[in-house]
């Protein structure tokens, strides 16, 4: 599936789910994670705390994904996934692919039709943008879509969007 490439605010997108580039605690942080938690309001933090208490006492492992409500967001759901810290794991490409693939699979499992991703791991986690775009290109091309009809990649800058457009076509 060919993704839509946008520059803008992920928290404002009207899609079934936005993907949160979360940390393993699920309790908010900086960057995209902090912006999503601020926009969604305290209900998201409460839901994430309950997930930690009941299903994920050790936190969300890198590459895995979990779904919550969207609370005050335009999106009806948030899919939280943890991308790899580039220089701290032996195979960051496999873990980044897992983060995207597991997010897509969770959306499909819930019959969602649209999903929007930030550029997972390319901020403070240090993943080189070109390498990340190659991983995303491969995952999106190989994924077995059923219910999903719209995939959005939402970027912080026009420069990042242009780089993705060059790699993703």
pLDDT tens string 50-103? 999 999 999 999 999 999 999 999 999 999 999 999 999 999 999 999 999 999
pLDDT at 169: 84
Bridge partners (DSSP) of residue 117 are 153
Torsion angles phi and psi, residue 150, rounded to 5: -140, 125
**Quick check: is 16 catalytic?**
no
Catalytic residue among 16, 33, 98, 160: 33
CB contact at 8 A, 59 and 26: yes
Task: Give per-residue burial for 46-78: e unless 16+ CB within 10 Å, then b.
Answer: ebbeebbeeebeebbebbbbbbbebbebebbbb
């Amino acid at each position: 599936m060919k993704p839509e490439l946008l520059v803008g605010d992920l928290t404002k997108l009207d899609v079934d789910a936005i993907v949160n580039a979360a940390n393993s605690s699920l309790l908010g942080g900086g960057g995209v994670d902090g912006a999503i938690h601020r926009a969604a309001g305290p209900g998201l933090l409460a839901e994430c705390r309950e997930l930690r208490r009941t299903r994920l006492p050790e936190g969300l492992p890198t590459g895995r994904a979990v779904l919550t409500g969207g609370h005050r967001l335009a999106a009806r759901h948030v899919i939280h996934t943890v991308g790899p810290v580039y220089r701290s794991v032996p195979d960051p490409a496999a873990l980044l692919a897992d983060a995207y693939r597991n997010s897509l699979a969770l959306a499909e499992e819930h019959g969602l039709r649209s999903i929007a991703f930030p550029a997972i791991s390319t901020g403070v986690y240090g993943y080189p943008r070109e390498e990340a775009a190659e991983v995303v290109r491969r995952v999106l091309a190989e994924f077995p879509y059923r219910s999903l009809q719209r995939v959005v990649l939402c970027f912080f800058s026009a420069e990042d969007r242009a780089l993705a457009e060059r790699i993703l076509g």
